[in-house]
Homo-oligomer: A and B are copies of this chain.
Amino acid sequence: MGSIDNPRVHELSQILKALGHPTRLFIIEEIAEEPACVCVLKERIGADTSTVSKHLSILRNAGLVTMEKKGTMVYYSLSCACIKDCIKALSPLIELKHKRYCEMLQ
């Protein structure tokens, strides 16, 4: 049945890998609220423009975001609302981890 060579697994893991970086996850959550251009994201992140642009290219490559040019600026937005659902789905796990952490302290 499910094999490690299943292309679906690789496709999914590429998407999850793209989400698995603080800066990129932050970008995703920002543009989930409202599309934003690189210069604004750069300000909110506090990193070099080239760094932000590279993260965006990784997200683009994984198909997570779409870009739209307006003048010299490029606005990025989520390519699928389901990405929000994916992240939201992990809330119970986060809570569980906090609960376990509190128990561990005792």
Contact = CB atoms under 8 A, between A and B. Distances in A.
Contact of A93 (B82, B87, B93, B100): B82
A25 interface: yes
A38 interface: no
Contacts of A46: 4
Contact of A9 (B12, B26, B92, B96): B26
Interface residues of A, number: 46
Contacts of A21: 13, 17
A2 B30 contact: yes
Contacts of A14: 20
Contacts of A53: none
A64 B80 CA distance: 25
Given A4-B23, A13-B25, A20-B17, A90 B86 contact: yes
8 closest Cβ pairs, A-B complex: A17-B20, A16-B20, A85-B89, A86-B89, A20-B20, A16-B19, A82-B92, A80-B93
